[in-house]
Amino acid sequence: MTVGSWLIAASFVVPECHMGRRYHEGMAIPYESTGRIQQKTRTREALVAATRALLAEGVEPTVEQAAAAARISRTTAYRYFPGQRELLLAAHPEIDRTSLLPADAPADVERRLDLVVRELARINLDWEPQLRAALRLSLEAGRSGEPPVLRGGRAIGWIEDALGPLRDTHPGIDVRRLAVAIRAAAGIEALVWLTDVAGVGRAELADLASWSARALLRAARAEDERRD
């Protein structure tokens, strides 16, 4: 085999590298999924941690800024995150809890809902800078046709979990619809409007979210009982 023919053959088996990704048979392979995976995972985590810290300071960092904060070279950082959008998306909190209720959760729906909404308010405040960045990216995605960043969040499922007993006591209530309405009053979007526009203090947010959630629950119950 000549050198030229060997190089041609090799091109079919050696993954191509481009913009921090490797390609094999036309399939993109994330840079951190190949070779020295543990070290690459630590590097990625360092970049994400630096991004979250900068967001908490009021800075929406570029890849270069995150790299500098993490003491990682810009060239290396771009292998993980080709742009600011990808970097900020990675900083979005991933909360794996399937429920916000304690193990000894009460059976009363109002009390269950109060526990969940107050915990959701705490999460919103703890992760406010990251959630604000994700909200901005979602608004930009709406204009560009890309899928919203905040779609698929767990909050609606957490609220549905709190409302679960309604399926037995008030089967006429659309629990999913009610959970969506409560989420609209208790999510990061409401926090932004309440603090930035209405001037509500952050110490008041949990009480206000709980009050709104109870009002929606009571309205749904009253409507269901009128139908009966």
Q: What does the pLDDT read at residue 56? A: 83
Residue bearing tokens 């930009």 = 140
Residue bearing tokens 């490797």 = 22
What letter does residue 155 receive in the DSSP assignment? H
- Backbone angles phi and psi of 162, in degrees to 5: -65, -35
List the domain boundaries for the chain: 15-91, 109-227
Q: What does the pLDDT read at residue 137? A: 85
DSSP notation for 74-143 = HHHHHHH-SSHHHHHHHHS-----S--S-TT--S-HHHHHHHHHHHHHHHHHHTHHHHHHHHHHHHHHHH
Return the structure tokens found at 42.
């630590």
Residues 115 and 97: beta-carbon distance below 8 Å: no
Pairing of strands 27-30, 16-18: unpaired
Indicate the SS3 state at residue 16.
Answer: strand
Q: What does the pLDDT read at residue 140? A: 81
Tens-digit pLDDT profile for the chain (228 aa)?
454 443 333 333 333 444 445 444 444 455 555 667 888 889 999 998 998 888 888 888 999 999 999 999 999 999 999 988 888 888 877 677 889 999 999 999 999 999 999 999 999 999 999 889 888 888 886 565 665 555 556 899 999 999 999 999 999 999 999 999 999 999 999 999 999 999 999 999 999 999 999 999 999 999 999 987
